[in-house]
Structure 1
Amino acid sequence: MTDAARVKEVVIQAQALHGRLDVVVNNAGYGLLGAVETADTDAVRRMFEVNFFGALAVMQAALPLLRARRSGHIVNITSIAGLAPGVGSGLYAASKCALEGVSLSLAQEVAPLGIHVTLVEPGAFRTDFLTDHSLRMTGDGIDDYADTAGAAVARLRALDGRQPGDPAKAVQAIITAVDSANPPLNLVLGGDAWRRVHARRQAFAADLDAWRAVTLGTDFPG
């Protein structure tokens, strides 16, 4: 995922297997947990190389092939953290917010070309994501963050093997979205994810309403 040239070779090989490329799924990634203040910059950069730049390389390699056929679907697996970040996962959320942003823009660029983009934002699903295989920790604990980031990370680690989301149902939901005549731009998966994004949406709307006069008062007169 961190070798853009190799990524392009693999994408071309994938098309050669069947003579066409219909759906591209960006699912590679891993988590980085810990308080923002304690984050190791090199560790953050390595995570971005996979979670963001790796996905970007796949999209840039696949788009010429999809444009040539004027069809196709790019599915980017982000996270509920990309829509409603929580404490203890700020750097991971940042990588997913970046993927959200580029995907939202890309969707508008390629829509006239017959290409769809869907962002999949799952909550906690019973995969190996919370194991040492897919998680990295950054920095040493600071007592001032024990009740926020520290507690949140501990809860996440304890959730391993008990996540509420069923991966098989998630796969079927993604297939249903891709097969739809009107596929969604955003596909939130899991009850926990729905509750988090709903709460974030309400908080955002409340800020918009409460600060509307200030917001609108920053324009030039007339």
Structure 2
Amino acid sequence: MASTSDFKRVWFVTGAARGIGARIVDAALAQGDAVVATSRDASTLEQRFGAQPGLLAVALDVTSEAQSAAAVTAALGRFGRIDVLVNNAGFGLLGAVEEASADEVRRLYETNVFGLLNVTRAVLPAMRARRSGHVINISSLGGYRSGAGFGVYCSTKFAVEGLTEALHAELQPLGIHATVVEPGYFRTEFLEGSSLVVSPRIVDDYAPTAGQVREAAKRISLNQPGDPLRLAQAMLALVESATPPLRLPLGTDTLQTIRDKHAFVERETETWEQLSASTDFPKGT
């Protein structure tokens, strides 16, 4: 078995059995790094990656704080350190905000937000002890601009963005980086049933908005413009950087989304500036 000193980096990747997570694991292993790959079912990881000296497959339901702590303990027991945490586990919810049930919303937050927090809290003590590490949280173009049909999902990614901004400020003095990665539409299985829940309730009034998005998702699935293999290579470049960014948009669609939102916010702020500024106490009081 290879020793821990044989590996330049040790990655801990959640949601590693398919999609973006699996591509990141492949890329890290291919360049000789060690990877702790996690999924709810460890057998899917073994089938996907096979046995490799640098791979530790661990069963992990991120919604369990106890399982998160146990997975990190196993990772440190095997490799002695975690250099890069990739919080990738998550799923989508398609439907208008009103169409989503309380249970659907709760389950989405349990994985996309509370699960991310469980794993991050478990990993950070070891990173702080070494004064080294990189926390990478996978968001979305929907974490920068929300839209009809994906409002609840986008709200979880807005939470991920806010958490990462705070982590960036809190961890930087400790020598630890934090980056939120914002992929656009990449050609993975995300819009298929395994990663996307579609609210069964349909309100006819939302047919022109969220309803149109429901139909568009069917057409887009497996025809997305982004190349997940190139995304994985971008992740390798990200962790190589001595000064990684707080935000890393990936895909021309995300870049355009950011530009469009900035322009919208600028126009609206200018239009309402007088009313916005009128709420301060008068100067001198």
Q: Please state which band the TM-score falls in when normalised by the shorter chain.
A: over 0.9
1:16 Cα deviation (Å)?
2.2
1:34 aligned onto 2:92: no
1:68 aligned onto 2:136: no
Which sections of structure 1, spanning at least 5 residues, go unmatched?
A: none
> Which has more radius of gyration?
2
Which structure features the higher share of helix residues? 1
Distance in structure 1 (CA, Å) of the matches to 2:203 and 2:71: 43
Structure-1-length-normalised TM-score: 0.97
State the AA in 2 paired with 1:174: M
The structure whose RCO (Cα within 8 Å, separation 6+) is larger is: 1
1:208 aligned onto 2:208: no
1:181 aligned onto 2:242: yes
Distance in structure 2 (CA, Å) of the matches to 1:68 and 1:177: 23
Q: Which secondary structure does the structure 2 equivalent of 1:36 belong to?
A: coil
Which of the residues 125, 128, 144 maps onto 2:189? Answer: 128
- Give runs of aligned pairs for residues 20-59 of structure 1, distance below 5 A: 20-59=81-120
State the AA in 1 paired with 2:79: H
Further displaced range: 55-64 or 14-23: 14-23
- Give runs of aligned pairs for residues 33-182 of structure 1, distance below 5 A: 33-182=94-243
Q: Which secondary structure does the structure 1 equivalent of 2:98 belong to?
A: helix
Provide the identity percentage. Answer: 45
Aligned-pair Cα RMSD in Å: 1.0
Distance in structure 2 (CA, Å) of the matches to 1:154 and 1:15: 45
Q: Which secondary structure does the structure 2 equivalent of 1:158 belong to?
A: helix
State the AA in 2 paired with 1:85: S
Q: Which secondary structure does the structure 1 equivalent of 2:255 belong to?
A: helix
Structure-2-length-normalised TM-score: 0.76
State the AA in 1 paired with 2:105: V
1:39 Cα deviation (Å)?
0.8
Which sections of structure 2, spanning at least 5 residues, go unmatched?
A: 1-61
